[in-house]
Structure 1
């Protein structure tokens, strides 16, 4: 029998059940079965895998911290092999595998005590060390005879035991308040400030580490960890995390929630290199006090959200036609950053989609870093999620809604701004936007397709030249997105000027070609980047590949060079090899048909393409059409039909003609006037012939 080192309660061991999570253990065993689930252990990083981090617990046992257990992206961890880390043992499986959990506490001083977990029980570290030095009695005996810390003495009790130097205490105050209970705060924090602390802004607390500050702002997220509650507070200058401790895993200040306007006092500290405020007092403001803070925040938001520049990257009629919409879109994006709302960019998994999405990313990330004190904020508040196709359908929307509701309920995050790029501008996406709107999530779209009017009312802003009556044949989504990005963040304008040229496979507007040349990207450099991104967009198309895409599009130094030369040139070489091989096979199996005097090149894509290898059917048909003189190129798959036309074609009109000819074919168009036709596989031949007849009528 011993006494709990935290509260002094008699226990069978050295820590009671209610304080297991307040103690960190050092493992002195040699088998996974000797670990105790739910305890926190000191470990050493062994290495990384795609699915998580391997951590050595002691000298003989290794566990897996799965990426799903992290409170951040795996890629944002700065742990190196050999680093000391602290993790929780969640489970020891029958096969000896050890499942680990994340710990927000990553130094020994973050815990309220330390013990050795040995096969024969728990021991005080000093007892084990003494035993090792003297070689006398066993560690177990020494532990039994040692007087417990903070208990059993007539002049000492659990109530007056002094916590560790960095302990947090149940009144929600930080380490500096641990040894003495402060006087109750009888007046409001705002009233107290008049005679005490002056209000501090978040952007200035980096110079006040170790000092107690008074902050006023809005709560933008709340998340409960296994230790403290983390409130994220935004004022008119920036955002900071504020930790409040009631007891391990218990919600501090349960009445405070997202969107509350508050006054907060606490000590500024650095945790693992990041600024954090250890909360001493937190009060929800009401009445005039609340209105004053809310008005100050709104005024700052309006000023900061307005773009600093409204100059386009180049003189381009199709882009000029949507100048006002470009500014509106940039304003919505900037405001989301200032409000610390996550931004999710959804884009097609094509070269144009990736380049356009990367343009927005390039502009937003520096603003996110500027507004947050967390080093990994850019991974929490901005995400690109490539789409399968160019329709924001219910499948994609359901995934986004599920993710955002989980983030709201588990981590107290605000609802995101969803930005559709090179996708989402046709009527088929309306249901997806409606689902987002049902939960109050805002959305906008940037797309070069011929957009449907229904979308205008479904999103906050639609940057779509076709709605302004502009010719969309010479504009790309990247040209539009790069201009939006330049308005979002004028500081990165020079980084963006070559991106429009990268997105054109042919007939690049001279203005964009000149911009790329002036920025140091000649015609070869531009084409290499386009081809490299097109290839990488295909592989793991559901991932953003942030760092790789950044290297391909923006890097011009060490990061872009493989051992055998320029990275973009290396990858584009693979692109050309794969494309030429597929083109050779396709060309040998083309069928030429006449449609009212116009040549139609037909390819059976189900039979004469490698469907699960690069290039995609869309990219292959694009290149076939560019290389041949036919008026139309028709690709017929098992249940899809795609058409390319030299003078343009309304695919909806084509689909309607096919539907009339094959009424039982389940014919419908996906992606609007620039989309493709889907049908029942059993009606494939009938649909193929109906399409050829329809093309003949359309050219008559």
Structure 2
């Protein structure tokens, strides 16, 4: 029995419970379990990670001060490795992880007292005669002398070397890996010089296991064989992502804080890895003990095993289209190829990047593929945030995958490769990129061996077939694409990427049609519980949200609008879609009213053409977009009006009752206005660009060409 060093109250120890947080402790134990939660400790900065700071609490235990516990930004901390700091122990987990909290007191004089904490007791500094630890095992029992004896760890008896910690002693040096919160652990024996360790004789070799089986082997040492698909260096361990025929898992290897472990091992290497399976914050992690690059027959055997598994898993089952639709049936084989390519990228741990138009059809089509891919990514990767690393939608403002967009994608993928060791992505173009204007962008991707595939309902150019790995373009198969949307194609691909989401995406084709949706798709939507009002509300809501921050995917919001799966409490019962669609209609009607009042009706050789000056009589930077406004104007045109023409300062858009080839129109305009610098962007379904100074000449040339074409 003693007295509290703060208030003098009789206590079993040196501090009473009410004053425990007024004292700073110096830890001389040798295991995390010997720490006392809620106490404050002096520690030493070990290193930084993206998500926090590693702090050595004593000589044998390292904890994580997560950035969420700081009272300032992690980047603003001026701590350096080796600095003394003061932290609070919040929790010691069953697996030995130590969660630390921030202390506003960062000097010893800020506390009202100081105590030494050992494995089984606490001492006033003047009474403590121990060394670097208390001399106790993890169970708190003394290893030398009598029941209460304390002996320095480096002491010896009668000339014999000091006893090393027993194998059961959970003596660890920890460093948390990447954003997953996983920990790399070195045992005390690992820190013992090799010459002093006795290697076991005839230790049996580990049998190989697979990644899908390690969930039930937490705490066991396993052997994995596969391919390294990414490498990233944290301020703690090096994190290798290993893929075998069943999945991927992160493997942390610790050399020392911030130092690359196994520097000769890189992406695409075939390896054998042994380590202990652990789980931290929901993520599986293998703490690497050995990592060897395989060669020769061993590497070939693993490579063949991986390739055979990929081939089996990537190819979807029997092709069963969502509905009878001639334009979709024309590319049934291409749909299978596209689904296979996307599934293969998932299995190979390659990111999938979807580029789609910033329109209702583009967003719905991209969301269909997203709905299919995300569950497979979650299934294949042990990281909880894998879906944000291995799938991304990046909307496009126009129908061309040009050099600007391709340069952005290449820059992003090279940074991801060099900084995080990621593989090059599969780039999927949906509702865009099927014309010759996109070939330069694909060529840039191909220089880095990045694969691309295109899915587009518009009239495509033959040049695109050789520029991409797979082209799902019904127009090149001779199909009539007048009743087709990109969503109709993408939803069919999604159903074959992941059969489990077929019921989720069956209503999406109906959502993508502004008018004249094929009856088969309307029936699918009805069977899925979406009536005509629900369909139109979702289409209009997505169209409005596609306009705002059009460069962002808005993943969660779009999912809320399109899918009523009841997974959580978010508003997926139609109220959200109804609310947003009401805003859509109000904004569209206001612009339509202004536009109708300023339409000029031109009679060209008996053909009625409605012409709108899109720069003078639209709010260019407000909703709706020029293309959406012209589409609505044309749908609501007066009887007898064959063409709606939007003429701006340097762009011309045409909407016709019958199919109109804008590329042919552009050629006629260029011939009639040779000084206008005319070009067509987006091919037959695109628009015409020209020099602003020749605007009037282009307008007259366009009207003349339309008269000749439609008369």
Could you tell me how far 1:175 is from its partner in structure 2? 3.4
| Number of the residue aligned with 1:616 | 625
User: Is the alpha carbon distance of 1:244 and 1:596 closer, same or farther for their aligned partners in structure 2, counting shifts above 3 Å?
Assistant: same
1:179 aligns with 2:189: yes
Quote how far apart the aligned CAs of 1:197 are. 1.6
Residues 158-167 or 667-676, more deviating: 158-167
Unaligned runs of 5+ in 2: 1-25, 31-40, 80-91, 118-122, 135-151, 176-182, 196-201
Rounded to whole Å, the distance in 2 between the matches of 1:125 and 1:380 is 48
Taking structure 1 as the reference length, the TM-score comes to 0.81
Which secondary structure state, in structure 2, belongs to the residue aligned with residue 127 of structure 1? strand
The Cα of 1:120 is off from its aligned counterpart by 3.9
CA distance in 2, matches of 1:640, 1:143: 85
Secondary structure at 2:465's aligned position in 1?
helix
Alignment equivalent of 1:536, drawn from 523, 526, 545: 545
Report the CA distance between 1:560 and its aligned residue. Answer: 8.1
What residue is the counterpart of 1:273 in the other structure? 282
In 2 relative to 1, CA 225–561 (structure 1 residues): closer, same or farther, beyond 3 Å?
Answer: closer
Q: Which residue of 2 aligns with 1:668?
A: 679
Query: Residue 565 and residue 402 in structure 1: after superposition, are their counterparts in 2 closer, same or farther (change >3 A)?
Result: closer
Identify which of 661, 664, 667 aligns with 1:656: 667
- Which of 164, 167, 170 in structure 1 is aligned with 2:173? 167
SS in 1 for 2:114: helix
In the alignment, which of 675, 689, 699 is matched to residue 688 of structure 1?
A: 699
- Determine the structure 2 residue equivalent to 1:631: 642
Q: Within 1, Cα distance between the matches of 2:677 and 2:256?
A: 61
SS at the partner of 2:612?
Answer: strand
Q: Structure 2 CA distance, aligned partners of 1:654 and 1:144?
A: 95
- Consecutive unaligned residues of structure 1, counting only runs of 5 or more, are 8-12, 27-38, 46-54, 65-86, 93-104, 131-135, 186-191
Which residue of the other structure, out of 121, 132, 148, is the alignment partner of 1:149? 132
* Structure 1 CA distance for aligned equivalents of residues 414 and 703 of structure 2: 47
**In 1, distance between residues paired with 2:674 and 2:606?**
27
1:575 positional shift: 0.7
The answer on 1:301 being equivalent to 2:288 is no
Distance (whole Å) between structure 2 residues aligned to residue 43 and residue 295 of structure 1: 42
TM-score (norm 2): 0.79
d(CA) in 2 for partners of 1:636, 1:15 = 70
Cα displacement (A) at 1:521: 0.8
Judged with a 3 Å threshold, the aligned counterparts in structure 2 of structure 1 residues 697 and 265 are, in CA distance, closer, same or farther, namely: same
- Of 554, 557, 561, which aligns to 1:552? 561
Q: Deviation at 1:309?
A: 2.9
Distance 1:480 1:394, change over 3 A: same
Check conservation: 1:593, 1:600, Cα contact below 8 A: yes
Contact 1:253–1:282 (CA<8 Å) still a contact in 2? yes
Instruction: Tell me, yes or no, if the aligned pair for 2:588 and 2:623 is still in contact at 8 Å.
Output: yes
Deviations 1:371-407, CA, capped at 9 Å, x for gaps: 1111111111000000111111111111111110000
1:550 shift after superposition: 0.7
Describe how 1:546-585 pairs up with structure 2 within 5 A. 546-555=555-564, 557=566, 562=571, 566-585=575-594
State which of 356, 359, 384 in structure 1 corresponds to 2:368.
359
Q: 2:352 aligns with which of 339, 343, 348?
A: 343
User: 1:468 matched to which residue of 2?
Assistant: 477
2:248 aligned partner: 239
Q: How many residues align?
A: 615
* Alpha-carbon contact 1:112-1:164 (below 8 Å) kept: no
Partners of 1:560 and 1:672 lie apart in 2 by 44
Residue 305 of structure 2 aligns to a residue whose secondary structure is helix
Hey, what does 2:534 align to over in structure 1? 525
| Cα RMSD after superposing both structures | 3.7
Determine if the alignment matches structure 1 residue 212 to structure 2 residue 218: no
CA contact (8 A) 2:507 2:528 kept: yes
In structure 2, what is the equivalent of residue 411 of structure 1? 420
Query: 1:229-257 CA distances to partner (integer Å, 9 max, x unpaired)?
Result: 10000110011000100000001111110
User: Are the aligned partners of 1:124 and 1:143 in contact in 2 as well (CA < 8 Å)?
Assistant: no
Query: Aligned ranges for residues 377-416 of structure 1 at < 5 Å?
Result: 377-416=386-425
Determine helix, strand or coil for the equivalent of 2:72. Answer: strand
Tell me, in whole angstroms, the C-alpha distance in 2 between the residues paired with 1:410 and 1:180: 30
Match for residue 287 of structure 1? 296
- Structure 1 position 691, deviation (Å): 1.0
Pick the structure with greater CA Rg.
2
How far does residue 17 in structure 1 lie from its aligned partner after superposition? 8.3
Q: Secondary structure at the match of 2:378?
A: helix
CA distance in 2, matches of 1:564, 1:325: 35
Q: Specify the SS of the correspondent of 2:658.
A: coil
CA displacement at 1:437 relative to structure 2: 0.6
Quote the Cα distance in structure 2 between the aligned partners of 1:677 and 1:114.
61
**Aligned partner of residue 242 in structure 2, secondary structure:** strand
- Aligned pairs for 1:470-489 within 5 A: 470-489=479-498
